[in-house]
Structure 1
Amino acid sequence: MSEPDRSLSSEHRFPCETCGADLRFDPGDDQLVCDHCGSIEPIDHGPWTRSVAVQEHDFRHAVEAGLGTAEMEETRVSTCPNCAAHVEFDPAVHAAECPFCATPVVTDTGVSRQIKPAAVLPFMLEETEARVEMTRWLGSLWFAPNGLMEYARKGRKLNGVYTPCWTFDADTKSSYRGQHGTVYHESRTVTRNGKRQTIRVAKVRWRPVRGRVARFFDDVLIIASTALPDRFRKGLVHWDLTRLEPYQPEYLAGFRSEAYTIELREAFGEAREIMDRQILRDVRFDIGGDRQRVEHVDTEISDVTFKHILVPVWIAAYRYRGRSFRFVVNGQTGQVAGERPWSAWKIAIAIVIGLVLAAMAGFVFANSR
């Protein structure tokens, strides 16, 4: 008899031994807590060490073998019809809002076969702490509509979502060809306003150079979700990955998790761009001098490994005049990013006030002469 398929949601539910209610992971503490009776259950880490348990996978073998060398899992997720996020929902819930864009979603979950996460970065901020950070950020915005300010005051609950990421390690050795520039100055006589003056003009003396640089890249992180705009993804790269824990479903108890929508090969392409930019900086530093010209760089990359990890994000979605606006709080650091509408009437009032003040200043200046 085959073993019954367990959904991702069922794996993340842990009943309280005292009252039977669902336990949830307690951000900032390595434990599960029951909101109903207050019981606490420490998370059992087993006999392994963090460095041994968080395994890297060989990128080349994974791609050539069709990911056959990586541990896979089947999860049940729903796809948002608006932002295409692949999010886990409780199978008992038949309709909900997408945590990324507030679009109504019918939770007819489908099965997705993906690489199993190797590690998770646990939430450090409670929802109330994240909401304080978001409210502070919203309060600092100028010309935001009153509806947005009201949203902050109401304290609508944020959604805790574990966002998928890829990290890549790689050893690189690069040979380059370029030019080393040394700035020097020449004196030149010019005529300005009918007067002859001597000025110093900067010149650059170039000489050809060749060399090699080497760098080992550790944990180049790529957000593996397309549910958020690119500017959000680029802002969600500052994580303390030394706090990664080997993947255990207990860390996801009480939270949602998103399935990755950026595949491994595509993510490595983004990681390679980050590596190439750093290598270019290394080359310029190695050339030295006052100015540098880089004509050619040839990089050999080897020992590429990867892992799939989950990072914590608090998300709020706000709908204003038919559009979705999202706010994201880093669940580890509290850093906030967001998008917001502008209030046309507030901007108009500010312009009118500015014109009135300018007119008053002009009137005072004219009368003082």
Structure 2
Amino acid sequence: MPRIRFDRVEKSFGRTLVLPPLDLTLEDGEFTVLVGPSGCGKSTTLRLVAGLETLSGGEIWFDDRAIGKLEPKDRDVAMVFQDYALYPHMNIARNMSFALRLARQPKARIDSEVRRVAEMLNIAHLLERKPAELSGGQRQRVAMGRAMVRDAGVFLFDEPLSNLDAKLRARMRTELAEMRDTIDKNMIYVTHDQIEAMTLGDRIVVMNEGTIQQQGTAEDLFANPVNRFVAGFIGSPAMNFLDGEITGDRVAGDGFDLLLPAPLARRAEAAAGRRVEVGIRPSHIVLDGGAPIDLRVVVSEYLGAQSVLVTRCGAAEMRAEIASEDRIPTGETRRFGILTDDIMLFDRETGARL
């Protein structure tokens, strides 16, 4: 498994620069997730590794080997696509073995590898069927199996679960997590779903407009986002943001006035008198304790063990996450509490966290 290094990698389509100079190193054996909104450059990055797009600048290295000019077949990568990309006229066994047959591997080895991977993915009983006879989840397993039989050094996944329904997507996340722990390979996984990213990634790389905003573990990104974009993208329900102004050791705005905890107040001294955005996680809004804030409940979303309340703070919308047994009628204004030790402040102009 190679160490993968992006050295000032660029990609342009015509005059449009979609991937500014990108520097990134992926360690041997890592499961790396590239996550971000549509158009942020994550799939383009993956396709550059696969050789499906040509570099406009820079180089990609596998250990000490430059691969930017190599043909896809010479890169020792296997890719799983969003749309499965199975051959409809071939049965599952022949779909999975296609690359091995193309490489003229011995039939005994081909049969053994296909059977081994099919049993790992629980699709051995489907080997004689055609793709049209399978469900979406089964087709996705076949697509993963076709990549795995190649025994490549690098596996690439381009939003492989986006076509599945919510229940099947959750199950496939579990299966991917199990596969990650049993196969010692480099894996790069692209998704716009931050739950997939937080569930699967050893390392998560958050991208926006072609640039890396932050990278780290799910815990790092959730607890210590470096800017407003990362804070708002990582976490479900998403972080609330309120416009405010810092005065001394307080931050106030439409409908709220909060005393800052001492460590945050010291960091915010340089921003005194400036407009900021106050970041509050829905789970840090409580019914008892904390700094008081009056919120009007607009909608209550029952989710089983928890409910998400859509509320109003002045003109701003806020979401609060509470236990479902704590019923609050819609239309009611209720005093909540903010756990101020957990709030974050962001510069309104740059988005950087104070």
TM range (shorter): under 0.3
- Greater strand fraction, Structure 1 or Structure 2: 1
Normalised by the length of structure 2, the TM-score is: 0.24
